Chain A
Amino acid sequence: MEGLIFDLKRYAVHDGPGIRLNVFFKGCPLHCLWCHNPEGVAFEPELMLMPNRCARCGDCVRACRYQALSQNGNGQVKADRSRCTLCGDCLQACQREAIEIAGRKMTVEEIATEAEKERVFFEQSGGGVTLTGGEPLAQPAFAEALIDSLKLHGFHVALDTSGYAPAEVFRNLAKKADLVLFDLKIMDETRHKKYTGVSNRIILENFQSLEKLGKPVWVRFPLIPGVNDDENNLEAMASFLCQLRSVEQVNVLPYHKGGLEKIRRLGREGEFAVFEPPSQEKVQSVIDFFARRGFKVKRGG
């Protein structure tokens, strides 16, 4: 069985307990305007151009059979993605890894092999594998097969999800994982729709169902100034979470601009928004807010 994966990251130390391997699923039903992994949004592989690595030699342009690449006056490479077939010839031609295709088919076995390489670190640190993305639940059959396989290998598995998936899918995969990292963004449905493109009703219902499964949850709250850092949202979130005993901790993830460069590489400027990162004081006040309500809170993942 194959899934579409855009990255495997070793020594991941911010996405669950211990030292972890992050498996990034490509494709997400949400379209959050602050997305810091924009290459994980589309469900197809995408061409990424890295001008900082480019020698402007034109090898890629010459290698392309579909005239999808061109150079402007000062040699900078531009892509006409409508012509690109993702054949990969340009990647072969480029000697500086200035072109990449985000997203490749990987089998369960390939990923399990990568995870095996990290076994000594997992075992030492109480770590494991985190399925993240993108949205792992958007490739449910593959995610299920992967979790089954990883569990057979004896690895701890964390599922990092937006919770936006059919209830059966969500429950089935959450049940199999050892830990759910649940990204909770905005409590108000209208605003949720405005900033992420989807309603949060199904997300909240799925969240509540974790209670019955008795699955431990780490809530991950991306703090986006002007979007979800207001009193109302914080209050609503706290009172929603208060009812759930399975919440072990709340992770406050301050917005950062790390995604912007990737958006440019994807040629998807205009599809996302730019925010100002929250101030240290603001982050601390949000941490204090949740702490006062009895949550174990951490800055970062």
Chain B
Amino acid sequence: MNDRIKKLREQSLRARPSISSERARIVTDSYRSPEVQRASVPVQRALVFKALMEKKAIFIDDGELIVGERGPAHKATPTYPEVCCHSLEDLETLDSRPKTSYTVDEETLRLYHEEIIPFWRGRSMRERIFADMRPEWKEAYEAGIFTEFMEQRAPGHTVLGDKIYRKGLLDIINDIKESVDHLDFFNDPEALDKQEELRAMAICAEALITYARRHAELARKMAEGEKDPVRKKELEKIAAVCEWVPAHAPRDFWEALQYYWFVHVGVTTEFNTWDSFNPGRLDQHLYPFYQKGLEDGSLDREKAAELLQALWVKFNNQPAPPKVGVTAEESGTYTDFALINVGGLRPDGRDGANELSYLILDVIEEMRLLQPSSMVQVSAKNPDSLLLRALKIVRTGFGQPSIFNTDAIVQELVRQGKSVEDARKGGSSGCVEAGAFGAEAYILTGYFNIPKVFEITLNNGVDPRTGKKIGLETGDPRNFQTFDELMQAFEKQMRYFIEVKIRGNNVIEKLYAEYLPAPFLSLFIDDCVLKGKDYHDGGARYNTRYIQGVGLGSITDILASVRYNVYDRKVVSMDELLKALSQNFQGYERLRDRFLNKTPKYGNDDDYADELTRLVFEMYFRLIDGRPTVCGGTYRVNLLPTTVHVYFGRVTGATPDGRLAGEPLSEGISPVQGMDRKGPTAVIKSAGKIDHIRTGGTLLNQKFTPQLLADDEGLVKLKDLIRAYFKLMGHHIQFNVVTADTLRDAQKHPEKYRDLIVRVAGYSDYFIDCARELQDEIIRRTEHQGF
């Protein structure tokens, strides 16, 4: 890392996240103008975007190579009042909460008080959504049965493909014209809507060109006044780059990166999309530019690394948009889930690892930044050397990169109906979600608390935490003669809540399609332009919606305990079990010990338990997979938690696996914390028993102490462990490499561990930024000792 990057990186690390009211102000002003008010909804959105691109403050910092920022300063984070209009209390909470806080200044509070809140109160998407939800949805939401992703953030959840490396926005504008020319105004009842949508897209495309040219102008002006001849030349180059992209297709490595970054700023300014946005298969996309640069002498390894590092700093300058309420609970992090994919396959099926893959891994290791997050795609065709290189970074305890199985991802996507080429162009984004990059809207709609539904089943439809009847009366479990009867009641209850969720989802999907389209994002995801359809309205080639199941390990252990102790061994009656649970095991300590220690558990390659994992998985799959969404998509399942297992645990009472009320649930498909006692191979065997291919992603967390990976032989064995998991068609695995003592010390002396990044779920986070409970849980996750 050279001095320039060191400085930019330091600057990024030092910058404190703050709320910027700039976007809210421009958006509100813009919505007030008659021109916007009389336009169609998509054009309204485009004009608002245009105003943002024309009026946003811009700056080029000393030493910067890649330019453009979402906010007016590093880590100045915009708000999106049309989606979620923060109250003054929200803003105060954001400012003062102990974790993931954002500085809010007086001026912002004033502006919100006088302008933003009066205009948006009652009109934001968030309020529309809550107003439109039925009572049963609200009850379930409040009980913590599920969360709702779109209640304060726009859908997003997609990744860029290779389009921008082939086409400038002027080319895309030509495509738009062609689509308009092909509209059938006589036979297609949607033709007029499509025309408006396409007009909106063209306005957005021009707006980004304007935004880039503003940077070109600024750079040129700065160059004129620059004394240092080296920096002067750089600024001139920046001006030339911003003049060319995004209007035209990039010609070199630098232009390719800058083009991407402008698009990134555009997407994250248009909306507070979930999972920000991300260039996806960066090594594949950039490789031709890299090769060409090396050949014609315009680029060398160092320069390529420097430009990549400059991009990395840009990502780190953009914390996640502020989240409040349940959404802050389910995803309490500054990370905005941009997941760079390295390795994997080429569209024709050949090994995709190239020199740039290794260079990007070097950059990841050297930069050690929270954002962007990174992952390595490993196909059977990729060399071991790629995986070993990645594991050398894992070993440093940085929590990145996470490791994905390309061959599983491709099969998952093909099963969902994608062409094999589109599948190979895809990968994973966010935490672990599989997607066809550049051609798919794969939208997570919310987490689903499976153990909580079982708790309600045990209570015949009542949530014991509140005493409210929120579920179906599926029968008093004391009257069930067999475990199968209990499972049937559980499935009925699951179906009920899943349908409550889906009914709400349908409304929300429609609301976004109708009131908040995303014409800018639609420019880049095929086939929105071709179809004249918005990304939020089924414009993408593939449209998928997910409900993310949470607590697979917990529910397995819960069911195993009930089956084993109540029905098989009959050591406790259902009545007594229910009493013990309602007492949170007080006075039932021996029974709890039995549940914890002498009952089969998931994660130990024990078929008694693992068979139940499969049963629950099949049930969850059966109840969700294949259902249609309202805008032409299909429902699928995946299994990941971000940080929601802590929140879901908090709202769930004591469970028959011995878990006390309020304790976190298991995360992803990992075993319940500390219950995997037979080492990592047994965990992998257990996790390998579900059919990952029928999911859109699963998350398996493993923690290793550094000692186990100290020498290269340990690393090779870890590599083999992963390869074996991938032979079993596991989707993903990630590693925390730290000692529990280190973490405990970090709790005591957070100031000493500001740089300590740990793997939380599908992402890494600063340990000191994690909630205390989450910190405790990370410490508890089983450490696999060498011997």
Contacts and interface: CB of A to CB of B under 8 A. Distances in A.
B166 interface: no
A10 B598 contact: no
Contacts of A55: 589, 593
A282 interface: no
Nearest to B590: A95
B610 to A, nearest CB: 11
B786 interface: yes
Given A13-B714, A19-B681, A121-B681, A59 B720 contact: no
A13 B597 contact: no
Interface in A48-96: 55, 57, 59, 95-96
A158 to B, nearest CB: 15
Interface residues of A, number: 27
Given A18-B717, A124-B720, A10 B681 contact: yes
B728 A57 contact: no
B605 interface: yes
A297 to B, nearest CB: 12
Contacts of A2: none
Contact of B728 (A120, A127, A258, A301): A120
Contact of A59 (B590, B711, B714, B728): B590
A10 B683 CA distance: 11
B388 interface: no
A96 B728 CA distance: 33
Given A11-B679, A95-B597, A120 B721 contact: no
Interface string B708-721: 10010110110011
Given A120-B727, A125-B717, A57 B681 contact: no
B428 to A, nearest CB: 22
Contacts of B231: none
B678 interface: yes
Contacts of A18: 717, 720
Interface residues of B, number: 31
A10 B679 contact: yes
A298 B712 CA distance: 12
A148 interface: no
A117 B604 CA distance: 11
Interface string B644-686: 0000000000000000000000000000000000111110110
Interface string B24-42: 0000000000000000000
Given A11-B681, A96-B593, A97-B597, A19 B787 contact: no
Contact of A13 (B596, B682, B717, B723): B717
A153 interface: no
B572 to A, nearest CB: 12
Contact of A10 (B591, B682, B724): B682
Nearest to A119: B724
Nearest to A36: B787
B720 A95 contact: no
A257 to B, nearest CB: 13
Contacts of B368: none
A11 B605 contact: no
B605 A117 contact: yes
Given A18-B720, A117-B685, A97 B598 contact: yes
Interface in B597-655: 597-598, 605
Chain B interface mostly: helix
Interface string A109-133: 0000000011011011101000000
A95 B723 CA distance: 37
B594 interface: yes
Given A13-B786, A117-B605, A95 B593 contact: yes
Contacts of B678: 10
Of the candidates B682, B717, B723, B727, the one having the most CB atoms from chain A within 10 angstroms of its own CB is B717
A189 B725 CA distance: 48
Interface string B556-571: 0000000000000000
Interface string A266-291: 00000000000000000000000000
Given A10-B682, A11-B680, A13-B786, A121 B721 contact: yes
B119 to A, nearest CB: 60
A296 interface: no
A14 interface: yes
Interface string A7-21: 001111110001100
B597 A19 contact: no
Nearest to B716: A125
A14 B786 contact: yes
A242 B425 CA distance: 56
A270 to B, nearest CB: 26
A126 to B, nearest CB: 8
Contacts of A95: 590-591, 593-594, 597-598
B346 interface: no
Contact of B721 (A14, A19, A57): A19
A39 to B, nearest CB: 15
B784 interface: yes
A124 B727 contact: yes
A9 B787 CA distance: 9
A18 B723 CA distance: 13
A127 B593 CA distance: 36
A298 B710 CA distance: 13
Contacts of A300: 786
Nearest to B685: A117
A18 B720 CA distance: 8
Contacts of B597: 95-97
A125 B724 contact: yes
A14 B708 CA distance: 10
Contact of A125 (B590, B720, B728, B784): B720
Given A11-B681, A14-B786, A120 B714 contact: no
Contacts of A14: 786-787
A283 to B, nearest CB: 14
A241 B223 CA distance: 73
Given A10-B682, A124-B727, A19 B593 contact: no
Of the candidates B685, B713, B787, the one having the most CB atoms from chain A within 10 angstroms of its own CB is B787
A22 B372 CA distance: 41
Contacts of B721: 11, 19, 121, 124-125
A63 to B, nearest CB: 12
Of the candidates B684, B711, B714, B786, the one having the most CB atoms from chain A within 10 angstroms of its own CB is B786
A12 B787 CA distance: 7
Contacts of B714: 13
A204 to B, nearest CB: 28
A97 B787 CA distance: 20
B605 A124 contact: no
Nearest to B688: A120
Contacts of B727: 120, 124
A216 B720 CA distance: 23
B361 to A, nearest CB: 22
B737 to A, nearest CB: 15
Of the candidates A11, A12, A117, the one having the most CB atoms from chain B within 10 angstroms of its own CB is A11
A121 B594 contact: no
Nearest to A258: B787
A10 B721 CA distance: 12
A235 B605 CA distance: 47
B720 A121 contact: yes
A124 B598 contact: no
A124 B723 contact: yes
A9 B681 CA distance: 10
B292 to A, nearest CB: 38
A120 B682 contact: no
* A-B residue pairs, 6 tightest by C-beta: A95-B593, A125-B720, A11-B679, A124-B724, A95-B594, A11-B681
11 contacts: A11-B680, A12-B787, A18-B720, A95-B591, A117-B605, A118-B681, A121-B724, A124-B724, A125-B717, A298-B713, A299-B711
Given A97-B598, A121-B684, 19 more contacts: A10-B679, A10-B681, A10-B682, A13-B708, A14-B786, A18-B720, A19-B717, A55-B593, A96-B596, A96-B597, A117-B605, A117-B682, A118-B681, A120-B685, A120-B724, A121-B720, A123-B724, A125-B716, A125-B724
